[in-house]
Amino acid sequence: MTYDYIIVGAGSAGCILANRLSESGKYKVLLVEAGGSDKSFWFKIPVGYARSYYNPDVNWMYYSEPEAELQNRSIYVPRGKVQGGSGSINAMIFVRGADTDFDDWAEAGNPGWGFDDVLPYFRKLETHAAGVSAWHGEDGPIHVTPMRGMTHPITDLFLKTCRDLGLPMNEDFNGATIEGAGVYDVNTKRGQRSHSSAEYLRPALKRPNLDIQLETHVEKLLFDADGRVSGIETRKGQVRRTFSARREVILAAGAVGTPRIMQISGLGDGSRLQQLGIAVRRDLPAVGQNLQDHLCASYYYRAAIPTLNGTFGSLLGQARLGLQYILTRKGPFAMSVNQAGGFFKGAPDEQRPNIQLYFNPLSYRIPKDPGAGLKPEPYPGYLICFNSCRPASRGSITISSPDPTASPLIRPNYLTAAQDIAEVLQGSRLVRKIAAGAELSAVTEEEISPGIALESDESLLTYFRENSGSIYHLCGTCAMGPDDQTSVVDARLRVYGVKGLRIVDASIFPNITSGNINAPTMMVAEKGAALILEDA
């Protein structure tokens, strides 16, 4: 079959593209997704992400290669394998990033991507519970809800402690500044997940000019005699099909999936592709390079007052929360467990906030056994998690063989930059400073992990190396930039030297943004759709 546009990947970006490109009715659009439907109740209820964390039916469940600076551990890398992509299984924290993040994009040779350029697209995709303002939209598909006024009492003590310590406070991380302590916004609507699958794609699927193919793997791109991308070859079960694109194929398969499809199709580092026996269509050495992620570790505390551990840790408590959710669409089941936190300067001489914190009134450890499930610690507890906002380490994603079903090699190269090691120590000291503040320490019995016996820089760094993990913000692997040696797409998201092919997802980030990346990924999709329609 032939379409005007073929979109590969029905994730946070792909669902938005499908809506916007089919909106006018002028173009016939196909959306292809390797995963299945997200109609299950568990994709609607915010706390449902705990069920998808280790579920291979809806999660690619990737692991990195052993990381030398993390005691040779392989780091878990969950990615959504379902309609809605990772936006269907994430924790819904809605953070745009600092204005300087996007100004850096523009200054790196990407005109039209500074903060003033992208703010209209952030506002376009949003309906904010607080109403329209210079910073917020009021009629966008994605509903954004502040958790202020709904947080656990111990979360409020965290905020009071930050204030008493003289740390800046922030009522809106998506407002005039990102700096300070505050309560996070989440993308929810009346207590249910508000993501691009629900808000953009489902309404658009009623249009006769939009088709979707679920449980369909894209095995490679197809090219015409002139080298233009002309379509895709797919597999669904044992059935192979080809689809043709009159105008463009748009890759929106994410920071892992997009470079994998490129490389399998002969677009990437020529010498590496030749070693794997893949015919080189275009030598693009930056494909799969520039991988960035936020690396985090948690500090665990035993509290002297009840936290969510007791409630989530008992069947009766869970039943009560479930009943509260059913009757009111409120309570912990309607929220993210990461209730508060903020963005801080880890040292007085830092030019901008470089440490992000999450405060969680529920302490739990990620089980190494995928069959174990997520369970709270067996005591009243809370945790404080931190990561660098803009880590300097760079990694890569490369295919391991010409087999399109083989998992790619994910090498984040965490902590290979001196800046990142320095920020581990900054973050560790900041967490300790807050936990020792009067309001919070008054309700804290002890630091469980790492424990106060670990005090030296060396011991705290060792704890981080042994216990840190991805916070699942992979990006940058097909970066936008001014030349085809260090980047993959231009400022209009067109792949260098390959006609008929664009990339619109988190892989185009030149640098990672401060904070969670789902909101900026959706912004990229809104702006990317506008660029495609302008060029049409």
Catalytic (active-site) positions: 473
Q: Is 266 left (phi over 0), alpha (psi -120 to 50) or beta?
A: left
Q: CA 257: distance to chain centroid?
A: 14
Give the count of alpha carbons within 13 A of 524, CB side only. Answer: 34
Contact 142, 522 (CB under 8 A): yes
Q: What letter represents residue 207's amino acid?
A: R
Q: What letter represents residue 443's amino acid?
A: V
Find the angle CA(293)-CA(16)-CA(295) to the nearest 5 degrees: 10
Q: Report the alpha-carbon distance of residue 492 to residue 78 in Å, rounded.
A: 29
Output the DSSP codes for 86-103.
Answer: GGGTS--B-----HHHHH
In this structure, the number of other CB atoms found within 10 A of the CB of residue 171 comes to 12
Q: Report the alpha-carbon distance of residue 433 to residue 419 in Å, rounded.
A: 21
Q: Report the alpha-carbon distance of residue 426 to residue 354 in Å, rounded.
A: 9
Give the count of alpha carbons within 13 A of 434, CB side only. Answer: 33
Both structure tokens of 494: 């067109």
Q: Distances from the Cα of 75 to the Cαs of 63, 376, 409, in angstroms?
A: 5, 21, 12
Both structure tokens of 162: 């930050």
Both structure tokens of 367: 């089980």
Helix, strand, coil share (%) of the chain residues, nearest 5: 30, 25, 45
In this structure, the number of other CB atoms found within 10 A of the CB of residue 137 comes to 21
Q: What letter represents residue 520's amino acid?
A: P
